[in-house]
Amino acid sequence: MVKRRVLWTLPAQRDLESIVQYIAEQQPATALNVLNRLQARAVCLVSQTSRGRRVPELRDMGINNHREIIEAPWRLIYRPADKHVYIIAVFDARRDLRGILMERLLQLP
């Protein structure tokens, strides 16, 4: 079993911060619980990178190297690499992934 290092990309870190801050405004204890759950889910990828399914919206566009795991109601999108697993995004599963990707592309310089 190959163990990889889990690395959070800057956009994924921002996603996580936004989720936790939003929840903390109303329920600080719940926000900490959510943070711990999402981080724990990511840690499991150290040794189980193929655990998640391929992201359907990306697969439909011919992108097959990204996977996702669910920590309801959130989706953690990640990309396994040789020695690392990159967490690419964290977002509410009820949102449209294509819309999120478009927003991010429009923010690029």
**pLDDT tens-digit profile of 46-85?**
988 888 899 888 888 888 888 999 999 999 999 998 899 9
* Residue linked to tokens 């478009």: 102
For the chain, what is the domain count?
1
Output Rg (C-alpha) for the chain, integer angstroms: 14
Question: Which amino acid is residue 40, in one-letter code?
Answer: A
pLDDT at position 108: 53
Domain with 74, as residue range(s), is: 5-107
Confidence of residue 106 (pLDDT cuts 50, 70, 90): low
Q: What is the CATH number of the domain that holds 50?
A: 3.30.2310.20
The least confident of 13-17, 65-69, 81-85, 102-106 is: 102-106
CB 21 within 8 A of CB 57: no
* Residue linked to tokens 């923010």: 107
